[in-house]
Amino acid sequence: MTDRGNLSDQDFLTKIEQAILGGVSCVQLREKELSSRAFYELALQVKAVTDRYHIPFLINDRLDIALAVNASGVHLGQSDLPVAVARHLLGSDKLIGISAKTVAQALAAQAGGADYLGVGAMFPTTTKVITQETTRETLMAITETVQLPVVAIGGISKANRHQLIGTGIAGIAVVSAIMRASHPKNVAAELSQIPF
Ligand code: TZP
Ligand code: MG
């Protein structure tokens, strides 16, 4: 998952490419402050990279941008469009990920047609304002209840990744540990080797 920070567009795209070369298997573009036009243009550039490596490309929040660039799908939070509406608009071929913090939210997302769930923040993070972290118990309650693949997110790094082993997750989503690394390829390689 991306965060441009102060990177130039070229450096940003290079980081993404390095992360993919390290083992990142899906890229989500998450931009909270760009105009629609700038988001669209950046999305086209990122998609050119993910297409080159044949990996899925997701857009955070903005279903319109996902449609406009023919992304693989969209990731939506609890305040975004309802999953069933997004599914109706996107059709059955696109991926929809939903952020869930409770078993109830996870079940609702599953019933509405989500393809995967994002659960967190599992650890302290500076990428997003978090009121309360998600406990390991809640994460496990979700993985044990829903059939969907669950991706853990929030403050995940080399230092704490082992704490997620045995929780039943399908994978992890990482922003700063990779995007702020001077060697994103190495960090991505280390993080993607964890067995869950
Ligand atoms: N949702 C929950 S935590 C988070 C999002 C988008 C931010 C994750 O970023 P980082 O830098 O990997 O903690
Ligand atoms: Mg969102």
The CATH number for 133's domain is 3.20.20.70
Residue 116 lies in a domain: yes
Ligand 1 binding pocket includes 134 (Cβ within 6 Å): no
Nearest ligand to the C-alpha atom of residue 62 = 2
Q: For a pocket test of ligand 1, which of 153, 158, 191 has the largest count of ligand atoms closer than 8 A to its C-beta?
A: 153
* CA 57 centroid distance within chain: 10
Asked whether residue 20 carries a pLDDT value surpassing 90, the answer given is: yes
Residue 2 lies in a domain: no
pLDDT on residue 89: 96
Q: What average pLDDT does range 109-134 have in this prediction?
A: 95
> Which helix (H) or strand (E) covers residue 152, if one does?
strand 150-153
Ligand 1 atom, smallest distance to 123 CA:
13
Residue 152 lies in a domain: yes
Residue 56 lies in a domain: yes
pLDDT on residue 4: 81
* CA 85 centroid distance within chain: 20
Residue 3 lies in a domain: no
Residue 1 lies in a domain: no
Res. 114 pLDDT band, cuts 50 70 90: very high
Asked whether residue 2 carries a pLDDT value surpassing 80, the answer given is: no
Q: Quote the number of domains for the chain.
A: 1
Residue 99 lies in a domain: yes
Residue 64 lies in a domain: yes
* Cβ 75 vs Cβ 28: under 8 Å: yes
pLDDT on residue 156: 97
Residue 63: domain span = 9-191
Q: For a pocket test of ligand 1, which of 2, 3, 126, 128 has the largest count of ligand atoms closer than 8 A to its C-beta?
A: 128
